[in-house]
Amino acid sequence: MKRYAGVLALAALALPLAACGSSGGDAAPDGGELTSGPISIWYSTNEQEIEWAEAVVEAWNADHPDEQVTAAAIPSGKSSEDAIGAAITAGNTPCLVYNTAPAAVPAFQKQGGLVNISKTFDDGESFITERSGDAADGFRSPDGDLYQVPWKANPFMLYYNKDVFAAAGLDPENPQLATYDDVLAAAAAVKESGAADYSLYPPASGDYTNSLFDFYPFFLANSGGTQLVSDGAAAFTSDEGLETLEFWKTLYAEGYSSAEAYSGDAWAGPFADGVSAMGIAGPWGAGAFDGKVEYGVVPLPTAAGTAAEDTYTFGDSKNVGLYTSCENKQTAWDFVKFSMDAENDLALLETTGQFPTRTDVDAIAADYLATNPVLATFAASVPLTVDVPNVADATEMWQTFRDAWGQAVQAGEGDLEETFSTAADKIDALIAQG
């Protein structure tokens, strides 16, 4: 499948239709009245997700004549985050947005745009925690409540080009990529052989979102799932963080990676085109690489070589937001639960290649995964996915980190530890401001 969008840049806005109509309902735990009736939703522009969403909506509408769902894909243009933010301000969001980015939730919550799922529905907490397990805790807001419904995860792993590895004298079936030293040794072999121009070529721009495609997945793996901000402070100057930073600094210093923007597809191009021996991607990478590269997939490396079953990774999660302008919140919540039952979650995996954020993926998709060995490799990582921290001023924090990255890692200028210590101080100051 085609990579549907960059993190935090999914799609843009068509003028939404506000939900209309109402009928009697129960009182919400927070005292508000919950009503049922027609609702509207938005979903991603990715063609596979459109196929899935249309099927779910059709099935729902067939059984709910008084609670019809009007659904539309968000057309391309401005970012979906800008579009949703503008709609919140105007008071005309749809009831539900599938593909709500976790990093955008603090801003939407600050605008008063998101419904508190934990407090509004008497089964809000139980449904989410029973489906998603401990993963749900990574999406809680600072008040401890959930303002987003965990929906799907795309665990990042390391793809490698089997043909390039063979040409470099490396074993393509047993590539030895468990540690940072392993990766650097493989990179040296690739460079010496000339089998590929680069060994690892992530998006190279200074945009803050690119941290999610280079540093952050490796840091999560090396730190046992520690988020960029943890326990109210920047966490990347820990021993594990500095190990990851030094690893990437070496990749750039030795010419194994490039800080120059790629001339083609910045995300998939270097690996898909055979320019880079390795690439970082989720299960959706298979669709971008199939037929172009003979590849293998392994867990992300760590400094010490963490066992695969213990290796955390970035989830590139997308969740569902229920927005406060929705009139018929009970129907919206009932539709969320319907769209995330076992049958529809399995259909999501089969249709899109993306994993529902649930604890029993192996059970509900056993037959499907048995015939899809690449996806089966990713399935084991679903419970070990971690996303971005739910904190205010997240964009500024990530950009502060990215600026330090460009200077000390990509350009190799200044003292690495000092540069990132300064960045951590700036981020800690932002955290203190609330």
Band of residue 76 on the pLDDT scale cut at 50, 70, 90:
low
DSSP 106-128: HHHHHTT-B--HHHH-TTHHHHH
Half-sphere exposure of 305 (CA within 13 A, CB side): 7
- The pLDDT value recorded for residue 266 is 83
Domains of the chain: 39-154+316-386 (3.40.190.10), 157-314+392-433 (3.40.190.10)
Tens-digit pLDDT profile for residues 114-123: 999 999 999 9
Q: Please tell me the pTM assigned to this model.
A: 0.86
Q: At what angle do helices 239-253 and 180-193 cross, to 10 degrees?
A: 0
The pLDDT score that the predictor gives to residue 91 is 92
pLDDT band at 84 (very low <50, low <70, confident <90, very high): confident
Q: Which amino acid is at 294?
A: E
pLDDT-derived band at 28 (thresholds 50, 70, 90) equals: low
3-class DSSP state of 317: coil
Token digits for 357? 């954020």
| CA atoms of 46 and 259, how far apart (whole Å) | 29
**Taking Cα atoms as reference points, which of 21, 39, 62 lies closest to residue 336?**
39
How many other CB atoms sit within 10 Å of the CB of residue 165?
28
Burial class (CB in 10 A: 0-12, 13-18, 19+), 103: buried
For residue 32, what pLDDT is reported? 65
Tens digits of per-residue pLDDT, 158-177? 999 999 999 999 999 999 99
| Cβ burial, residue 144 (10 Å; 0-12/13-18/19+) | exposed
**pLDDT computed for residue 3 by the predictor:** 35
- pLDDT greater than 70 at residue 26: no
CB 119 within 8 A of CB 329: no
How many CA atoms are closer than 13 Å to the CA of 155, on its beta-carbon side? 29
pLDDT 10s digits, 369-381: 999 988 999 998 9
pLDDT band of 68, cuts 50, 70, 90: very high
pLDDT band, residue 77 (cuts 50/70/90): low
209-253 per-position pLDDT tens digit: 889 999 999 999 999 999 999 999 999 999 999 999 999 999 999
Output the pLDDT for position 46.
Answer: 84
CB 387, CB 191: distance < 8 Å: no
In whole angstroms, what is the distance from residue 136 CA to residue 138 CA?
5
**Separation of first and last alpha carbons in the chain:** 40
Residue-wise pLDDT tens digits, 29-65: 554 689 999 999 999 888 899 999 999 999 999 999 9
pLDDT at 16 over 60: no
Percent of the chain predicted with pLDDT > 70? 92
Nearest Cα residue to 50 out of 4, 107, 12: 4
* Token output for 398: 């990530």
Judged against a pLDDT cut of 80, whether residue 14 lies above it is answered with no
Query: How far is 195 from 213, CA to CA, in rounded Å?
Result: 23
Q: At what angle do helices 239-253 and 416-433 cross, to 10 degrees?
A: 130
Q: What phi and psi, each to the nearest 5 degrees, are found at residue 254? A: -90, 0
Report the alpha-carbon distance of residue 115 to residue 431 in Å, rounded: 24
Neighbours of 189 (CB within 10 A): 18
Range list of H helices, 310-386: 329-339, 342-352, 361-364, 366-370, 373-379
Query: pLDDT digit string (tens) for 316-370?
Result: 999 999 999 999 999 999 999 999 999 999 999 999 999 999 999 999 999 999 9
What pLDDT does residue 347 have?
98
- Residue 409 pLDDT exceeds 80: yes
In the prediction, which pLDDT does 21 show? 34
Whole-number pLDDT of residue 33: 86
Residue 7 has pLDDT above 70, yes or no: no
Q: Residues 6 or more apart from 52 whose CB is under 8 A from it? A: 344, 347, 348, 351, 352
pLDDT of 99 over the 60 cut: yes
| Token pair listed for 263 | 């001339």
Is residue 15 very low, low, confident or very high in pLDDT (cuts 50, 70, 90)?
Answer: very low
Bridging pattern class, strands 39-43 and 96-100:
parallel
Distance, in Å, from the CA atom of 319 to the CA atom of 315, rounded to the nearest integer, reads 11
The whole-angstrom separation of Cα 37 and Cα 66 is: 6
pLDDT single digits (tens) 421-432 = 999 999 999 999
Q: pLDDT digits over 384-406, tens only? A: 999 999 888 888 999 999 999 99
Q: Confirm if 127 and 259 have CB atoms less than 8 A apart.
A: no
